[in-house]
Structure 1
Amino acid sequence: MKTLKTISLACLIFGAAQAAVAGPIYLTSGSEPWGTNANIDNFDAAFGAGNWDRAVFGDAGVFSDTSDFVYIDGGDGNTFDFETWYNSNRSTVETFVASGGSVFVNAARWGGTDNFDLGFGATLTETGNYSTECTLTTNDFAAAGTVFTGSGCSHDVVAGAGFNTLAYSTAGNILLEKSYGLGHVMLGGMTTTNFHSGNGFDIRVNMLKYANDGVTAVPESSSIVLFGLGLLGLGLARRNKKA
């Protein structure tokens, strides 16, 4: 019985460490960009209703040790709130990714700052060219083809050194990615999917899943300690069994 109790305790400790990881987070202003629930519908389709969190600029704990993937939308009427918040939290976002997190920043802005600094060595520029055709450079997101169209599938273009291009329009690159430290970042200037053709919804869902898969499981310090205790417990159990 002593051996079984020791093993059970180790399993419980290890399970507690594993349970500390949170689900995806969608971060924007209090109101939805473009007055549509498109982003919410995208998240429900990608991860299932109730399996992700909606956060507002200024909320605490968004980039805590238990967060893993954060999608940030700064489009349309949320442009000013997005830029103000990002200017104050740029280093926090970079540190989160460098530590193993995944961030997808997407902002089809309305009246945004030229060459806005997104960190990670990248800038965002509103072109005034509301592209009606956007093209993927990868099949990772493909849904009924690699082209998605609409009344304006993107507003901004993204530029930076060391990035891979994932999508582009006639105005320039509209979605980039790169590894940063231990994590992964995606930067885009696309509109919400209510402006896209039929396959645009599924393409965005695939983008969110892809970004979430970019999370690196870097346990917080307390989890590392608990994991070590679990291994110690298993070791003691084996010694007791031999005795």
Structure 2
Amino acid sequence: MKKITQKLLILLLLVFSGNALHSQCTSSNFDPLACGDFIQNTNTSNFTTESTPGNVPFATASDTYYLRSNTQNPWGSTTNQDAMNLAFGAGNWTEVFFETVNPAVLFASPTRFVFMEGSDTSANALNSFLIANLTTIENWVASGNHLLINAAPNEGGNINFGFGGSILIYPSFSSNVNVVDTNHPAFLGPNLPVSAAMSGGSYGHASISGTGFTDVLVDGSNPTIFPLRQKVWGNGLVMMGGMTTTNWHSPQPAAANWRANLLVSLGAFVCPSDITVSNDPGQCSAVVTYTLNETFPPETIPGFTSLGSNNGKSYYLSDAAFTPAAGFSDAIANGGFVATIQDAAKNAFINTQVNAVALGASVLIGFNDVAIEGTFVWQSGAPTTYTNWTVGEPNNFNGIEDYTELISNGLWNDQSSAFTARYVLEITGGFVQTAGLPSGSAFPVGTTTNTFDVTDTNGNTTTCSFDVTVEDN
């Protein structure tokens, strides 16, 4: 008989398949609020959510940003900064400005979340910034990151928000708004109370027009006006709004809590929900397939082929060949290092993955003696605990071989600075399964707990657990 297959997709704030019963997420260095799940049951189209109070994991000053004009805070209010502090904690995010930020640096690794604000008399500055940088921003979101663009203008007109023809319509005022789905993570915490209905002198000055959206807020009087919407873009998520600052909103503190919770929902790691399936009659198990696809580090990087994750590191093979020096520089520009190999298991993993996508290829790894001849070190600075040289190597042939290639047979050879090859990029972050069964396994009748250690690009770690329950038919 045909076995039941459930597919689970883990993406920040995206949709999971299966029935949600319970999920948990614990950590040694924070209380993870964001182990609440945003789950769509594919049989009922109903959303169920669980939320655990605590501080959002993985928010740091190097990956979480508030971007605005340096001319003034909208309406002179610092409530957006207050919301960032409430969501991520003071010191765990960075404020930057349209007029001075380098977009190529901001919208690149390790940045994971940006709140972009263009309200009041900063709408024109936002518009100019988007015109100049929209492609860069769209590509950054598509690679697996999250963005909130918000503008309640007091100047100008409509603004092209991009992302498939999304338009901020101004003026389009809303005095009263309703939360469309009270199972949205922002409605469930961590900051409570919140309210399903909010108001203001003007809660919003603009609405969002376009296709492919999930509606988050709707005008209380006109169901065709949406002051807040979100959409999936590639591997990432963009939320777009026309909301004023929360000092204009009521009831309080519910309205301020809602704004902070929106930021949390975009900047957090979300632990998946439990999966419950039934086996076919006469079967002792059911095949369950889940894909771990979260966004730090990204699943895909332009110009690279993913090699997967191993022991808290994620690996990518460059599509282009580089000289060693150029490869070392390119790795740093992409938020990592040329690969470090500290044991036989890691050597075998990288060699196997490379051969799977480029059979027979030799690739550059990060071992080199550029600084001191004969003293090989890793570009990452990690200690040398393992080598796998071919017999007679390294031999520094002609006195010019300062770099190392991983040959397709898994052995190493030293190479010159003129050598060109694809290189293996290593980025801190990924999943390590410590309990349960791999995706695609036949899960037995009963409950199996799957546990993963999750590491972000800054080395922060959390533990995520979810149950797979197979009910006997």
Query: Does the 8 A contact of 1:167 with 1:175 survive in 2?
Result: yes
Question: C-alpha distance in 1, partners of 2:162/2:113?
Answer: 17
- Match for residue 180 of structure 2 among 137, 159, 177: 137
Pair 1:166–1:96, CA change in 2 (3 A) = same
- Report the equivalent of 2:365: none
The answer to whether residue 143 in structure 2 is matched with residue 99 in structure 1 is yes
The within-5 A match list for 1:24-173 is 24-30=64-70, 31-58=72-99, 59-60=101-102, 61-114=105-158, 116-121=159-164, 122-129=166-173, 131-139=174-182, 140-142=185-187, 143-169=193-219, 170-171=221-222, 172-173=225-226
Matched to 2:340, the amino acid is L
Q: Encode CA deviations 1:75-112: one digit per residue, 9 max, x unaligned.
A: 00111111111111111110110111111001011123
Structure 1 residue 22, shift from structure 2 partner:
2.9
Give the counterpart letter for 1:195 in structure 2.
W
Gaps of 5+ in 2: 1-57, 188-192, 270-293, 302-315, 317-330, 348-384, 389-473
Q: What does residue 218 of structure 1 align with?
A: 297
Q: Distance in 2 between matches of 1:230 and 1:151?
A: 60
Following TM superposition, by how much is the alpha carbon of 1:235 offset from its aligned partner in structure 2, in angstroms? 4.4
Take 2:199 and 2:90, find their aligned partners in 1: how far apart are those partners? 27
1:189-209 Cα distance to aligned partner (Å, 9 max, x none): 011111111111000000001
Task: Check 1:163–1:230 CA distance in 2 against 1; reply closer, same or farther (3 A cut).
Answer: farther
Deviation (angstroms), 1:230: 4.5
Residue 376 of structure 2 aligns with which residue? none
Corresponding residue pairs, total: 221
**RMSD (Å), alpha carbons:** 2.8
Query: Does the 8 Å CA contact 2:109/2:335 hold for their aligned counterparts?
Result: no
Contact 2:341 2:386 in 1 (8 A): no
The alpha-carbon distance between structure 1 residues 68 and 238, as it changes in their structure 2 partners (threshold 3 A), is same
Q: 1:229 to 1:94 in 2, by over 3 A?
A: same
Partners of 1:74 and 1:106 within 8 A in 2 = yes
In 2, distance between residues paired with 1:42 and 1:151? 20
Question: What secondary structure is seen at the aligned counterpart in 2 of 1:229?
Answer: coil
**Higher RCO structure, 1 or 2 (CA under 8 Å, sep 6+):** 1
Deviates more, 1:212-221 or 1:72-81: 212-221
Q: How far does the alpha carbon of each residue in 1:33-71 deviate from its partner, in whole angstroms, 9 at most, with x for none? A: 111111110000000000000000040121121111000
Q: Pick the structure with greater CA Rg.
A: 2
Tell me if the contact between 1:42 and 1:204 (Cα under 8 Å) persists in the aligned partners. Answer: yes
- The TM-score with structure 1 as length reference comes to 0.81
Letter in 2 for 1:210: S
TM-score (norm 2): 0.43
Q: Is the 8 A contact 1:55 1:62 kept in 2?
A: no
Is the contact between residue 21 and residue 68 of structure 1 (CA under 8 Å) also seen in structure 2?
A: no
Which letter does structure 1 place at the counterpart of 2:255? G
Q: Would the aligned equivalents of 2:343 and 2:386 in 1 still touch at CA under 8 Å? A: no
Residue ranges of structure 1 left out of the alignment (5+ in a row): 1-17
Quick one: structure 1 residues 232 and 44, their matched pair in 2 at CA, closer, same or farther if it must change by over 3 Å? same
Whole-angstrom distance in 1 between the partners of 2:336 and 2:206? 44
